[in-house]
Amino acid sequence: MLKRRIIPCLDIRDGRTVKGINFVNIIDAGDPVALARSYAEQGADELVFLDITATIEKRKAFAGLVERIAAEINIPFTVGGGINNVDDVAVLIKAGADKITINSSAVKRPDLIKEIASEFGSQCVVVAIDTKFTEDGWKVFVNGGRMITPFKTVPWAKKAEELGAGEILLTSMNTDGTKSGFSLDITAEVSRKVNIPVIASGGAGTMQHFRDVFFNTGCSAALAASIFHFGEINIQDLKKYLKSENIAVR
């Protein structure tokens, strides 16, 4: 049976992991490769690395990090941050990334999805959608959630699929950072309306939150950052718990 996936997300700035961690077995907590290896050993199914470096010069160094990750990590990984065109993607894929993720740049120019998919295949295009519930329903936000767009979430997800996205990474801004659980309604709706895998993101605080999003929605994977980084939830323990709740995990 196909398993639901658990995906830790690492924010990278200037080649280092941004958020602190307390794992005893990691000597250099800021080294993304050491952290990634530790997650892989705990049973993470995939990894996401988001480059939040502000300058273009430093962003180029990100490809070097991607090469190190690809050399050492034996599970699939996605990278994103600052991808605006096919050339940006080519650098990262060549460095060894399995998938790339785009967000604002896809909203600004939806054909970018098609261009990347036709060059590298749909399987490597993860379209990230930041969404928030407004008086006008669930809307798409860009620029790190700072700017609202005219797009409604479900039609945009469907459009992304149509253009060749291989996966949707759906982050609910209503729950992101709150540790109050994933937004089940929009996750369920997007998962139902598209025929590509959906990764739920935003709001994970407890192991039960993962169980709830898998039990109540058709999402294929769940992503979280801080609860893994700070050691609040160990991935191995999380998977043991999900198995005991009859959720199919590796």
Q: Which is nearer to another protein, 173 or 213 (CB)?
A: 213
Q: Which is nearer to another protein, 108 or 250 (CB)?
A: 250
Helix (H, G, I), strand (E, B) or coil at 164: coil
Is there binding between residue 108 and another protein (CB under 8 A)?
A: no
Name which of residues 231 to 250 contact another protein (CB under 8 A).
250
Distance of CA 192 to the CA centre of its chain: 19
| Residues belonging to the active site | 11, 130
Q: Which is nearer to another protein, 77 or 228 (CB)?
A: 77
- Given candidates 11, 51, 88, 167, which one binds another protein under the rule CB under 8 A? 167
Q: Which is nearer to another protein, 207 or 219 (CB)?
A: 219
Q: Letter for the amino acid at 219?
A: C
Q: Letter for the amino acid at 246?
A: N
Name which of residues 202 to 231 contact another protein (CB under 8 A).
218, 220-221
- Given candidates 9, 32, 39, 45, which one binds another protein under the rule CB under 8 A? 45
Q: Which is nearer to another protein, 68 or 159 (CB)?
A: 68
Integer CA distances (angstroms), 127 to 47, 87, 103, in order: 15, 17, 6
Helix (H, G, I), strand (E, B) or coil at 27: coil
Q: Is the distance from CB of 197 to CB of 167 less than 8 angstroms?
A: yes
Instruction: Tell me the window of 91-99, 107-115, 172-180, 202-210 that interacts with another protein (CB under 8 A).
Output: 91-99
Q: How far apart are CA 140 and CA 153, in angstroms?
A: 5
Is there binding between residue 200 and another protein (CB under 8 A)?
A: no
Is there binding between residue 96 and another protein (CB under 8 A)?
A: yes
Is there binding between residue 124 and another protein (CB under 8 A)?
A: yes
Is there binding between residue 32 and another protein (CB under 8 A)?
A: no
- Given candidates 170, 186, 196, 225, which one binds another protein under the rule CB under 8 A? 196
Is there binding between residue 3 and another protein (CB under 8 A)?
A: yes
Q: Is the distance from CB of 239 to CB of 249 less than 8 angstroms?
A: yes
- Burial of 133-168, coded b for 16+ CB within 10 Å and e otherwise, reads beeeebbbbbeeeeeeeebebbebbbbbbebbbbbb
Is there binding between residue 171 and another protein (CB under 8 A)?
A: no
Let me know if 175 is exposed, middle or buried by CB neighbors in 10 A (0-12, 13-18, 19+): buried
Token pair belonging to 170: 């759906």
Binding site residues, another protein, CB under 8 A: 1-5, 40, 45, 70-72, 74-76, 93-96, 98, 120-124, 166-167, 195-197, 218, 220-221, 250
